[in-house]
Amino acid sequence: MADLYLKALESERKSLWATCRLKGLAHGTPERLRIAELDELLREHKAKAGRKA
């Protein structure tokens, strides 16, 4: 079954990253901070999924 939460996180991260690249946003901007937050959420979610399997 597809993990919709994981897909949503990855999609948001990809979209934000594209925005940052397009606009040339520096570190410390809200978008970059959200990407870091998403990275942490992705790591946690993948670790949980790995333990369940």
pLDDT tens string 1-53: 568 999 999 999 999 999 999 999 999 999 999 999 999 999 999 999 887 65
pLDDT at 1: 53
| Tokens encoding 50 | 């790995």
- Looking at residue 20, its amino acid is C
Q: What is the pTM of this model?
A: 0.84
pLDDT at 21: 94
pLDDT at 51: 74
Q: Which residues contact 27 (CB under 8 A, 6 or more apart)?
A: none
pLDDT at 34: 97
